[in-house]
Amino acid sequence: MSDQGARAQRRTEDGWWGRVYQGPTGALPDTPDAGPGEGSVDDWFDSVASIVAPEDGGGTAAGTPEAVTPPPAAPPAPPAPEVAEVAEVAEVVEVVEVVEVTAVADPAPTITIPAQPVAQRPPSYGPEPTLLPAAVPERITAVVPDTVLEGAQYPGFTLRAASVRGDSPRHRGEPRTDALLVTRFGEAPDGLLLAVLGGRARIPADPRAEPDPERQLTDDTIRQACAHLAEAIGRSHAELAADLREGARDRLRYGLQRLTARAAVGLRALAPEAGSLHCLLVPLDPAAGHRAAFGLGPGGLYLLRAGHWIDAYAARLLHHPDGPGEAPEPRPFRFRLVPAGPGDILLLCSPGLAEPIAGEPAVAQFLATHWAHPHPPGTVDFLRQAQVRAKGFAEDRTAVALWTD
């Protein structure tokens, strides 16, 4: 086994990971206000996450909304136990037969995915791809597939990831601009799994203006930014895994902020909000109790605990019964160290999915219903569920979900 993660090497002043922390936080490009401040946001998140304890959900059906929970069977009538027993057996046999037929045809949780929308208003576009993007012979290797699907399972967690072209780009014949990179560096206990999401921000433009190719963010730039960030993390994955094991919040925040700013130089060269870059880090050590998520630009980090969605970046409950609260202004660099709780589901996603989860309660409820089961969905089912449709949300979607055992 490599000694890359040895404690004696990790804390040396001339180590690469140690040099990442040199310089004040305010000197970073595009991150003037990304310092930890008084730590109030972290305290808010800890407070919000503790409201719904992991034990309440138990990682099982307790996180499932009451609307889909079958009512308890009525007790048999005392005067005629024989008749009641026969009736109960008949009901059980009938239910088993229905379940078997449904399972062979199509599992019930996926029959409305993605053809039928969950919201009241129907989407403007069809659920299936229409036009293929045009290709250039000289750049045939740059062709981007419509859909990318990833999955992994390690002791303590299961990961599902997907990136799919939106209904609107499919209708217009445009390529998928979201990027997804999922990989692993090293082996446990110093190994690290990471998922990097990149995308092009939807900036309102003057429809009368002529498009300027030099001012347009290319798909290659987005994917290069994802690769640069993954490469930088891979060079110090053992040190990062040790910091995650220790829960070194401030050290991780400072170092990952610098790595992200360097990787996103080309991504944000045209405009500060031209693109987004987010990453999820998961240690392979089963004893490590934290995951880290961070990034620049639009995107969402949500925690599903006991059937309730928490906006982890903003440290607030989504779809509160008292009405939606005012969302805080996002910082240029967003970071969250999330303690892993049994039954928790952590979701990092691009704006194409983050916006409908936050803006359409039916979408959030749909995903909570299908994901709060004892077992994570398969990769194909996860793709179908991530494509849940609602009017007004037709852009590319990229999602990385982590189920904690």
Count Cβ atoms within 10 A of the Cβ of residue 92 and give its class: 0-12 exposed, 13-18 middle, 19 or more buried: exposed
Inside any domain, residue 247: yes
Of 268, 194, 207, the closest CA to residue 235 belongs to: 194
- Assigned domain for 368 exists: yes
In a domain, 75, yes or no: no
pLDDT value at residue 391: 83
- pLDDT given at position 323: 64
State the chain's mean pLDDT as an integer.
Answer: 76
Query: What span, in angstroms and rounded, lies between the C-alpha atoms of 229 and 297?
Result: 15
In which band, very low, low, confident or very high, does the pLDDT at 373 lie, cut at 50, 70 and 90? confident
69 Cβ contact partners less than 8 Å away, ≥ 6 residues apart: 61
Residue type present at position 403: W
Q: Is 260 left (phi over 0), alpha (psi -120 to 50) or beta?
A: alpha
Query: What stretch of H or E contains 85?
Result: helix 81-105
In a domain, residue 172? The reply is yes
Task: Show Cβ contacts of residue 299 under 8 Å, excluding neighbours closer than 6 positions.
Answer: 197, 199, 276, 278, 348, 349, 350, 351, 354
Q: How many whole angstroms separate alpha carbon 8 and alpha carbon 166?
A: 48
Give the residue-averaged pLDDT of 127-146. 88
Q: How confident is the model at residue 218 (pLDDT cuts 50, 70, 90)?
A: confident
Q: For position 392, what pLDDT does the model report?
A: 84
Of the ranges 139-148, 216-225, 275-284, 375-384, which one carries the lowest mean pLDDT score? Answer: 216-225
Question: Among 74-83, 147-156, 279-288, whose mean pLDDT is lowest?
Answer: 74-83
Q: What is the DSSP string of 129-195?
A: ---PPP--GGGGGG---SEEEEEEEETTEEEEEEEE--HHHHHHTPPP--EEEEEEES-TTT-EEEE
Return the pLDDT at 331: 83
Q: Beta strand 192-200 with 275-283: parallel, antiparallel or unpaired?
A: antiparallel
* 33: nearest Cα among 248, 296, 276: 296
Chain centroid offset of residue 326 CA: 22
How many beta carbons lie within 10 A of that of residue 37, not counting itself? 10
Q: Give, as one character, the DSSP assignment of residue 290.
A: E
Flag whether 4 is in a domain: no
| More confidently predicted of 238 and 25 | 238
Q: Which of 176-180, 207-211, 343-347, 390-394 bottoms out in mean pLDDT, i.e. has the lowest?
A: 207-211
CB-CB contact of 304 with 403 (8 Å) = no
pLDDT band at 364 (very low <50, low <70, confident <90, very high): very high
Is 269 part of any domain?
Answer: yes
CA-closest candidate to residue 360, choices 247, 336, 2, 368:
368
Looking at per-residue pLDDT, the higher value among 265 and 347 belongs to 347
pLDDT digits (tens, 9 = 90+) for 69-107: 444 554 554 444 443 333 333 333 333 333 333 333 344
Cis omega (within 30 of 0) for bond into 283: no
Domains of the chain: total:
1
Task: Determine the Cα–Cα distance for residues 241 and 191; give it in Å rounded to an integer.
Answer: 7
CATH number of the domain encompassing residue 318: 3.60.40.10
Closest CA to 162 of 173, 149, 152, 151: 149
At residue 52, the 3 state secondary structure works out as coil
Cα→Cα distances 35→48, 252, 257, 333, Å: 21, 12, 9, 9
Please indicate, yes or no, if residue 86 is contained in any of the structural domains.
Answer: no
Q: Is the pLDDT of residue 111 over 60?
A: no
- In Å, how far from its chain's centre is CA 163? 11
In a domain, 382, yes or no: yes
Residues linked to residue 164 through DSSP beta bridges, in sequence order: 147, 397
Burial of 346 (0-12, 13-18, 19+ CB in 10 A): buried
- pLDDT tens track for 326-336: 767 778 899 99
- Domain, as residue range, for 238: 52-63+107-131+146-202+216-404
